[in-house]
Amino acid sequence: MTSRIYMFDVDGTLTDPRKPIDNDFGDFFQRFCDRHMVYLVSGSDLPKLQEQLPKSIIARARGVFCCSAAELWADGNAIYRLDHQFPKLLIEALDDFVSLSDYPSRFGNHIEFRTGMLNVSVVGRNADREARKAYFEWDQREGERRKFIERFVETFTEYEASAGGEISIDVAPKGWNKSKALSVVKQDHPGLPITFFGDRMAPGGNDYPLAEALRADSPNHDIVSVEGFLETWRHLSLSTIPVTRLYRHAS
């Protein structure tokens, strides 16, 4: 085991969005987990994560943070769960976001209740891969999610919202985000440097809070922003470069 901790977002970082991990990369990543201390930090709940990653990888992780770190699982057991009762007015605002959107297509499952958070999607989580891609491309042009997040946090000041994956927005009480994973990992491994891989590192993305917490905590931590599992694979494959050189300031 190396004296460095590796933390990975899942969707868009280890897998294509909502897809199972690539078989060849999965074999490689499993071997990586055998040699390194690995934590997973996902916005999804555990059942969805289990659809994307095999038991062999999940079992090798030191911990699996789900629902943007509102849950922690280790060795198949729930270490903690943070739940929250969202006000009716907030849920109605999310309903309005979906119903009043200019985007023409809907596929169902638009607001999903998870531990400590809500996930809202105009196109709906039932959308297939092609429909997800179409919405993502439209949202990139129109900025629908970004604009809604800006309005939402101004109205509901006790809550935060961030873009999750290609099609959705994660909503949680302020401070309930992936940055919670840092304090847990530091408690178990004090003083060890951390490298974090994610695909939503920019402000408004659900990997951003953890990236910012790592930057504030120590200059020895590294943040690697990727655009898909192939880029993650390429970084991890450069084993001839010393780890501290490979990841330092890679964001």
Residue with tokens 């847990």: 184
Active-site pick, 11, 139, 170, 199: 11
**Cα-flanking dihedrals φ and ψ of residue 205, to 5°?**
-90, 155
Cα–Cα distance for residue pair 221/217, rounded to 1 Å: 8
The residue with tokens 């060890």 is 192
Cβ-proximal residues to 123 (8 Å cutoff; 6+ apart), any chain: 103, 105, 106, 107, 131, 132, 134, 135, 167
Helix (H) / strand (E) containing 16: none
Contact present, 201 and 12 (Cβ < 8 Å) = no
Cα→Cα distances 227→27, 54, 137, 141, 154, Å: 20, 22, 15, 18, 30
| Annotated catalytic residue 11 | yes
Q: Is 27 a catalytic residue?
A: no
From 9, 170, 207, 222, the catalytic residue? 9
What is the set of active-site residues? 9, 11
